[in-house]
Every structure is written in C-alpha cells, then in structure tokens.
Amino acid sequence: MKRAYRYRFCPTDVQAAELSRTFGCARKVYNLALAARTEAWARQERVSYHQTSAMLTAWKKTGEPAYLNEVSSVPLQQTLRHLQTAFTHFFRRRARYPRFKSRKTSRRSAEYTSSAFRFRDGKLTLAKMTEPLDIVWSRPLPEGASPSTVTVSQDAAGRWFVSLLCEDPGVKPLPARGNAVGVDVGLDHLLTLSTGEKIANPRHERRDRAALAKAQRNLARKARGDGANRRKARLKVAKIHARIADRRRDTLHKLTTRLVRENQTVVIEDLAVRNMVKNRKLARAISDAAWGEFRSMLEYKARWYGREVIVVDRWFPSSKLFSHCGTLKEKMPLSVRTWTCDCGVTHDRDVNAAHSLLAAGLAVAVCGAGVRPQRSTPDGQSATKQKPSRREP
C-alpha cells in the first residue's frame, strides 16, 4: 500500500527562489495547455496529453515562454498529466470543466518523479538544486522506503511542505472484530455513537474567532494591491486559519483512527454538506465541524485496515424513526432532544439516530435491503423510492 508522508522543511533563499519559479512555470504551462484544449473543444476537437507535451516542447524553443527551460521539465510534464486527469473526470461527469489557475489563490505546488530527485541516507535533493532540503523529520519513514514521487508545496501561511509517496508495509488489514457502530454527526456533539457515547465538539474556529476577526479587519483597512503592508496582514490572517485547520485535522485523525481500530463496521449518514452550508445561521458551525473531511478520512482508513464503512441514504429518517419499537414519527422538531415513546422507552435524539443508522446499515450489509421506510403505492403494494442513476456517456 502506497502512503504519503508529509513533512515541513525550511528552504534556503536560493531553494525558495527556485521552487517559486517552478510553481510559476507549472501554473503557466497548465494555463497554456488548458487554453489550447479549450480552443480545440470549441471546434469540437480533442487534444490529448501527448499533443500538449509536444506543445510544451515548442513553447520552450520559441516565443515568450522560453523561460520554461530554467526549471526542471519533470514538474511541467506532471502538470500536463494532472490536466489530462482533470479532463478525464470531466468527460466521465465526475467533475466540472477545468478552470485556469490563479497566481494569488491557486495552490502552489510542484510534483517530482524519481528521475528528478535524489534520496540517499535520509537526504532529499531536487533537480536544479545542489543542496538537500532541510526537512524536519517529525516521524520516520518506513524502514527501507524509497519515495516514488515527491510533491513540494507552500500554503497560504507561507509554510513549506514536502510529501513523499512510498510503499508502507505497515498499512495492512487489522484483525477482524465482530462489532459495529452507528455514528450520528452533529453540532452540539461532534459525534454520537450507538453505544451511547457522545464526543464533544471542540469548536476550533470559535476559539480563535476574536483574533481572526481582528486580523481580518486589519487586512480590510489595507489598500488593495501588492503592497508590503497588505501582504503582512494577509499572512497574519492565513496563519490563524492554518492554526485552526491544523487543530481540526488533528482531532479528526484521532477520532477516525479510533473508530476504525475499535470497530469492524462503521455506519454513517450521507449528508449534503454543500447544501446545508447555505443556511446562514449554521454555515459557520457546519464548516467548522468538517463532516465531509471526517467521512473522507474514515473511508480511506477503512480501506487501509480492512474495515467497512456503510453510508446510509441522506433521506433516511434516522431521528424520526424510533429505534426500539420501529415507530416512524411524522414530525420531529430540532428543539426536541429527548422524549418518551408510546412503548415506554425514553429516547435521546442523537443516540436514537445513531441506533437507527446502525440498524439500517446492518440491514443493507446483510440482505441488501433499502434504508428508507416502505411506502405504499396506489395498488396497495409497498415500494421503496429510489433515486435515478446517473449514466456515463
């Protein structure tokens, strides 16, 4: 199993200048190739990766982009491959049409394959550089690991990172367990488990909200442009955002790792987070909870360690369906947190939802049943409403 190990490093002035130049050239090549493919698309023609590679050779020889010869050719070729992947996703209706990269807002990164770097005795030297990178080895690489790909990036806060992709023999299925757990995400409590455990929501953004607001007001007062004062103010805002994101990511890593290690099956709900954040009153809290990132981490760790993640349909009424007796309530306002069912059982809203999700997920895993309550059709037969599938071209 291949795994990426990410580290911070401190470049010298020469290395920083070389990497910044490489980032700019990679962005330029991406935009030139995208423009060429867009023009061909307007003529109802398709341009392949090999054709854009030939264009890159021509750009290096003549015209304004001749400065592309000053940086390593490998990151530029990798940029064309990334563009090809973006178009593949677009043609298969998995993503939108690729967009041009901006100098100010796009991610600054460059990818090097094995022919463009040297890794010996724990020292990494990139092409066009004479000195190895000063990497902060916060954790060791797997014994005998040899990176196949190296990605160098710089975030908005000015921090430099290097990601090494290598084989990790430690990533293998864990011993099988017989237990399963339902997980209900929320705002008052970040997670509620079907075991009855509730995990508090750290609300990382709220802890730095005052400092962030002050830094953003300071940035808003600066004249627009590339002035030094505006760059300093923007950097201060970016550092606060980075601190919040780091804490949030650390919390989610710990929670998802624990869930995967302790349970064979994890059942979660498919939430339309993109639609939910349109609610102005809850958008900030939902974004801070990072439900989408939680699901992403849970799914790839489950693949790593041989666990199963079952996603229940977003329209499944987990809160309205009483887990003890199966009664389906027509209405369940958010203000109702606990209630006593007609069968005499007192329910907690979040725990009940986790129990309902677990039962629905296990039903899908065992017999492939639907996760929605059966609805009666005009002829008196029960039927489960299904969404139409999206066909690929």
Supply the DSSP string of 183-243, one letter for each residue: EEE-SSEEEEETTS-EEE---HHHHTHHHHHHHHHHHHHSPSSS-HHHHHHHHHHHHHHHH
The residue from 18, 184, 205, 288 that is catalytic is 184
Q: Kindly tell me the sign of the dihedral angle through the C-alpha atoms of 236, 240, 245, 246.
A: positive
Establish whether 205 is a catalytic residue. Answer: no
Task: Look at residue 16 and give its three-state secondary structure.
Answer: helix
φ/ψ (deg, to 5) at 246 = -65, -45
Which is nearest to 361 in space by CA: 191, 187, 183? 183
Please check whether residue 55 is in contact with residue 4, taking contact to mean a CB–CB distance below 8 angstroms. Answer: no
The Cα–Cα gap between 219 and 241 comes to 14
Which is nearest to 124 in space by CA: 143, 101, 146, 107? 146
φ/ψ (deg, to 5) at 44 = 60, 40
The Cα–Cα gap between 56 and 44 comes to 22
The Cα–Cα gap between 217 and 158 comes to 20
Establish whether 350 is a catalytic residue. Answer: yes
Supply the DSSP string of 22-87, one letter for each residue: HHHHHHHHHHHHHHHHHHHHHTT----HHHHHHHHHHHHHSSGGGGGGGS-HHHHHHHHHHHHHHH
**Strand 189-193 vs strand 180-185: parallel, antiparallel, or unpaired?**
antiparallel
**CA angle at 304 for the pair 4 and 315, rounded to the nearest 5°:** 110
The residue from 269, 308, 330, 348 that is catalytic is 269
CB-CB neighbours of 107 under 10 Å? 11
The residue from 18, 111, 288, 350 that is catalytic is 350
Please check whether residue 32 is in contact with residue 185, taking contact to mean a CB–CB distance below 8 angstroms. Answer: no
Please check whether residue 378 is in contact with residue 391, taking contact to mean a CB–CB distance below 8 angstroms. Answer: no
Angle, to 10 degrees, between the axis of helix 49-61 and the axis of helix 73-91?
A: 150
Please check whether residue 200 is in contact with residue 46, taking contact to mean a CB–CB distance below 8 angstroms. Answer: no
Report, as residue numbers or ranges, the catalytic residues: 184, 269, 350
